[in-house]
Amino acid sequence: MKRFIISTIFLISVSISGIVFASSGDISTNNGVKHEVRSDNNIVTKPSTITVEKAKELLTNIEFQLPTYVPNNLIVESVIYNEPPSQFPNGVMPNIDLDKEITIRYRDTSNEENWIDYTTKKRRIELADDGVKSIVLNGLEVQYLELTGKNIVAYNWFSKGASHMVIARGDISKDQLIKFVTSFN
């Protein structure tokens, strides 16, 4: 009986300390995005799933664009909104207007291995990976990266005051991807 009581007390104390530990970080929410401070240099962010209409409302700092061409069988699977916390634990206050972003995932209805993610934000994004090439599409300078072993390609460009990045995976043809990318301008 004594052993049972000690075991019970141990389990309760572990549970309580786990609850205290789990709730020890400050949690803030901005526009549905949750930020949990774990330490001075560790913040965990959980983006918000929203609609395309809500994305247009939240991204008023840039000209929000949708592609005019989407490859066959691809549909919008999700729209994700993310923004940094209003203040980091060290007191730094980021420019939320520059860093808030929308990612739209298009998924192939006939093969879920095929998808395209389109991300846009005001801050200029540069691909710094090995193998990045600069190409011109419809008069626009675009960074291009192909990870052939992983069947992933990325296109990145800055236009109309915003960064645009397309990452695609699977068997989507290069012609279809170029048509998708150039349909934003």
Q: Mind listing the pLDDT tens digit for each residue in 121-178?
A: 999 999 998 999 999 999 999 999 999 889 999 999 999 999 999 999 999 999 999 9
What is the structure's pLDDT at 88? Answer: 80
Residue 90 resides in a domain: yes
What gap in Å lies between CA 134 and CA 118, rounded to an integer?
19
Structural domain contains residue 10: no
- On the question of pLDDT at 49 being above 90, the answer is yes
Which CATH number characterizes residue 99's domain?
3.30.200.100
The number of domains in the chain is 1
- Cα 104 to Cα 18, 132, 170: the distances in Å are 36, 23, 17
pLDDT at position 105 over 90: yes
Q: What is the mean pLDDT of residues 56-76?
A: 93
Count of other CB atoms within 10 angstroms of residue 154:
20
> Given CA atoms 84, 52, 110, 149 in this order, what sign does their dihedral have?
negative
The domain in which residue 118 lies consists of: 49-182
Dihedral sign from CA coordinates of 123, 126, 129, 134: positive
Tokens of 41: 């240099």
Q: Is residue 20 part of a domain?
A: no
For residue 33, is it within any domain? no
The edge-to-edge listing of strands for the beta sheet with 27-30 is: 27-30, 33-39, 42-46
> Residue 30 domain-assigned?
no
For residue 6, is pLDDT > 80? no
